[in-house]
Amino acid sequence: MTIHPVISAADEKQEVPGLADLTHGWLSAIGEDPEREGLLKTPHRVAKAWGFMTAGYSKTLEDATGDAVFAAEGSEMVIVKDIEFYSMCEHHMLPFYGRAHIAYIPDGKILGLSKFARIVDLYSRRLQVQERITAQIADAVEELLAPRGVAVVMEGVHLCMAMRGVQKQNSSTATSAMRGQFKHDQRTRAEFMSAVQQTLRSR
């Protein structure tokens, strides 16, 4: 099952201050007429869109997870797969998107499953690189739960590679971050990778 990004009404309505004026100038700089009918409201639409796409800057890990950390027995691996993410490349300010897979081995605490999607959104809704998001998610789960191990794999399609530059539309980038038992125990790591391998191949 695919877990879709968590969208808040407040995020959708927030306009980045000053960005509308900058967008008006940007339109002129590329040779467009910002006063023509189709572009009259574009600067404000862009300012709202960027408010949504960079909402992660104004939120904390506590905002994303609330009180959803629970005491629990057991130490079986928990895997949350196919969390959709969308982000903006900090090098070209073009989108990249894909799916995240998160696993952890509890050590007395578990996290409500929907909160993993919120953690992914927290770090992806910023100017980013995929390598950093992957590490930030792993660090966040480790900070929240102090588990025996955390693993994160992300696979992304980068439009800065597809639309410009090398223009390789079918390329994708996979990144991983392993902590604790996933890093030190090959069998644990292999179990997780086996569980997400089919998902990675079926994109």
Q: Catalytic amino acids? A: 89-92, 130, 158, 160
Residue 73: helix, strand or coil by DSSP? coil
Distances (CA, A) of 63 to 41, 66, 115, 118: 32, 6, 10, 9
CA 38, CA 33: separation in Å to the nearest integer? 10
Q: Phi/psi class of residue 91: alpha, beta or left (left: φ > 0; alpha: ψ in -120 to 50)?
A: alpha
Cα R_g (the chain), whole angstroms: 19
Report the C-alpha gap between 105 and 30 in whole angstroms: 51
Query: Using a CB cutoff of 8 Å and minimum separation of 24, what contacts does 170-175 make?
Result: 172/98, 172/203, 173/96, 173/130, 174/200, 175/130, 175/131, 175/134
Q: How far apart are CA 162 and CA 187, in angstroms?
A: 36
* Residues 119/141, Cβ–Cβ less than 8 Å: yes
